[in-house]
Amino acid sequence: MMDWNEPRNRFALQAVRLAADLAADIQGEMVSEALTKDDRSPVTVADFAAQAVIGCLLDQNYPGELLVGEEQSDVLRSPEERHTLEQVAGFVKRVIPGVTPEEVCDFIDRGVDEPGREYWTLDPIDGTKGFLRQAQYATALAYVENGEVQLGVLGCPNLSLDLRESKPGEGSLLIARRGSGSWIGRLADVDQPERFTRLQVSTRTDPEDARLLRSFESAHTNTDLIDAFQRELGGKADPVRMDSQTKYALLASGEGEIYLRLLSPDRMDYKEKIWDQAAGSVIVEEAGGIVTDLDGKRLDFSRGRTLRGNRGICASNGKFHDLALNALRAVKA
Ligand code: AMP
Ligand code: MG
């Protein structure tokens, strides 16, 4: 069972809840259909604001502990970006009253650490493209010890408890602690853990019924290989395209059977970042699933800010794992 009073569990849930709610406010107030295609300012503001909030809370609760975060404040500190910094600080003040722009930059820079034997890792807004499309995104925080994720929390403002697109204010919060299972509740119910329910991966075993999960963005994966994999497996359902680590949430909840992350043919040099996989992977494992690289090895979070040497990820409900790895080998050969 989950120990809801354990300090790190409580801290991670509260921190992610505050950051994800703030991100949702920023999406609601800044993302509009009038946004030009390459206007990335709302996601920039949300990314920095969410990391500043969690950096500040970490400073208050666990000063001195390492944080490996996606963002750094150097661009924000330049005179040309003063307006953006003021906007970011304006939002962060809603959570941390009286904070100054300079303090906001310092809180963001809590995240510049390299991984150590124990560290936190944060993606303030995972799925920035989804954020801008008013689709799925997540705030992802994890705690890693000796290269293994021990605790993962995902805040998913646009995902309802039944794993569908949510109405504003009905987003979800997921937590997994190694040995204590994976759990889901409403972001709004962070103080009522008795309302959280335990997650279990799907029990499907027939490849025909296997539902595949993949990136919404075709440029983030290899769609030809995914199509070939699907044919090899004999799966009948169209792959579910979704942004961010919410795909791990679906897999952990039994709303999909196999999730593949493959290198895009245009970006064969792409390296997976640890904050993009840490929280989601422990949530799947603690729900009974398996997460490995394409050789069937567990992911190693001890080797730097990226999963060094990694060439892709296969996550499944467990029942399909060997089948999926073999099917991938067959179509890559
Ligand atoms: P997803 O929505 O699953 O595609 O994952 C979103 C994450 O993919 C973001 O955190 C991006 O940093 C990351 N990403 C960016 N470019 C690529 C790429 N070429 N291949 C794979 N992932 C990428
Ligand atoms: Mg990300």
Q: Judge whether 242 and 273 are in contact, CB under 8 Å.
A: no
Which residues, given as ranges, of the chain have pLDDT below 50? Answer: none
Catalytic-residue membership of 197: no
Distance 319 CA to ligand 1 centre (A): 26
Q: Judge whether 199 and 253 are in contact, CB under 8 Å.
A: yes
Q: Which ligand is nearest to the CA of 130?
A: 1
At 37 the pLDDT is 61
Total residues found in the chain within this entry: 333
In which order are the strands placed within the sheet that holds 312-316? 240-242, 212-215, 258-262, 312-316, 290-293
Among 40, 137, 217, 263, the mutation site with the greatest number of ligand 1 atoms within 8 A of its Cβ is 217
Burial class (CB in 10 A: 0-12, 13-18, 19+), 68: buried
> Nearest C-alpha to atom 17 of ligand 1 is from which residue?
220
| Minimum-distance ligand 1 atom for the alpha carbon of 219 | 19
Distances, alpha carbon 299 to alpha carbons 119, 257, 271, in Å: 16, 19, 13
CA distance 16 to 169: 15
CA-closest candidate to residue 139, choices 131, 148, 147:
131
Q: Judge whether 51 and 90 are in contact, CB under 8 Å.
A: no
The predicted model scores a pTM of 0.97
Ligand 1 neighbours by CB, cut-off 6 Å: 126-127, 215-217, 219-220, 243-244, 264, 267, 270, 276
CA distance 187 to 255: 20
For residue 187, report the phi and psi dihedrals to the nearest 5 degrees: -50, -40
CA-closest candidate to residue 183, choices 196, 201, 166:
196
Sign of the CA dihedral running 46, 273, 293, 261: positive
Catalytic-residue membership of 224: no
pLDDT tens column, 286-303: 999 999 999 999 999 999
Sign of the CA dihedral running 41, 43, 47, 53: positive
From 21, 109, 126, 128, the catalytic residue: 128
Burial class (CB in 10 A: 0-12, 13-18, 19+), 195: middle
| Minimum-distance ligand 1 atom for the alpha carbon of 136 | 2
* Dihedral, CA of residue 177, residue 122, residue 29 and residue 160, to nearest 10: -20
Distances, alpha carbon 123 to alpha carbons 20, 152, 276, 283, 328, in Å: 11, 12, 7, 15, 29
pLDDT tens column, 216-268: 999 999 999 999 999 999 999 889 999 999 999 999 999 999 999 999 999 99
From 21, 47, 123, 293, the catalytic residue: 47
